[in-house]
Amino acid sequence: MAKTNNIDLKIADKEIEKQTVLKKTAFQADPLQVQYQGGQFNSADYDHNVSIQQYFPIGKITKANRQLQEELVKLAEKRKALSEYEIEKAVTIAYYQYLYGVSIQKLNMDLLAIYSKFLKNAELRFQTGESGKIEVISAKAKSKEIETQQAQLEFDLAIYKKQLQFFVQTEDDIVPDTTTPLQYSIQTNENQSKVETLVTDYYTQQISVHQKEANTFKAMRTPKLGIGYFGQTIDTKSYFQGFTAGLQIPLFGGVNTARAEASSISISQTQLELDKNKLALKLKMQELKNDFDKQQKALDYYQKEGLQYAEEIITTAQKSYANGDMSYWSYISFLNQAIDIKKQNAEATHAYNQSAIQLQFPSISNK
């Protein structure tokens, strides 16, 4: 949807369309010259002279112009491919940001259920005289705190939804599929090859454009062929006519020579830019891979051990507190420990997703 709706991509399509239309300008003839002369230029009588002349490019200039314009079309297509890549990355980040908000909301609902059960137990123990009122007040306060957080999370989800709508660029109500696995599935090797290809293709195409520019400027140093027609009167009685032919020779071709040299310099500059971006991308991938491995290690702990510990702590603490085998303060301490583990798991998953998306879609520069 983003690739269909996104205005930046629509602008890119228009640029491709514009460059395609400009291919028609490859053949550039000079304006038709029409000249009238009237007066006493042949005799004392008032005579008339009309001449028409047209100059045409010869040599390789038309071919060079056509080739240059074809390369400009391809360059516009490469720019669009880079834009599509960045939009895909932005939509993916926004999508999983929303899923993260949903996971926090679900966690909060689970916590609310736990404290609601705790509140009932606290009220029962207070009524039977087994505990003081402080337990009831504390449980009520915690439940209200979680309810408030739940209301705040609704606003967070609304913000995340708007961010996603911005990148998809639609006013429709976009809601990600909450059955999507919260953990992002990464395909690093495939996308690393993709981004390397995008970068290389873009700068290689720029080099091709500069090469064709140089060829065009060199071709502009060739002469132009002109043909013409004239008709005139002499003594206002007779009509004479004939044809002309000529050449326009650029005696001072230093300007186009300098432009061709400048285009050759641009080729070297672009090659250096390509080398720089390849190195930057390689180093960035190594940095992102290290961060990904770090986040993967943290997430593995919570998935394999941490969450199991949290569930065991909650279950055991609830039973012990309900049976009167555990004090209120011990119960709260263990409960907070388990809740903290679950929150850290959600944050670790979010950090993992962000790292995985960055690794699959490393930022690239095309400026």
pLDDT digits (tens, 9 = 90+) for 77-117: 999 999 999 999 999 999 999 999 998 998 888 888 888 87
Residue matched to tokens 């300007």: 255
CB neighbourhood size of 350 (10 A):
21
pLDDT at 365: 66
121 pLDDT above the threshold of 80: no
Phi and psi at residue 200, to the nearest 5°? -65, -45
128 pLDDT above the threshold of 80: no
Reported as a pLDDT band with limits 50, 70 and 90, residue 188 is low
Residue matched to tokens 């705790």: 118
Cα diameter, the chain: 136
When pLDDT is averaged across residues 38-42 and rounded to a whole number, the result is 85
Least confident of 25-39, 40-54, 71-85, 121-135: 121-135
**115 Cβ contact partners less than 8 Å away, ≥ 6 residues apart:** 139, 142, 143, 146
List for the chain the helix, strand, coil content (%; round to 5). Answer: 70, 10, 20
**5 Cβ contact partners less than 8 Å away, ≥ 6 residues apart:** 168, 169, 170
Q: Which two tokens stand for residue 341?
A: 């583990």
Q: What is this structure's pTM?
A: 0.79
CA distance 57 to 226: 9
Residue matched to tokens 């504390």: 138
pLDDT at 190: 59
Provide the β-strand partners of residue 234.
Answer: 238
pLDDT at 319: 87
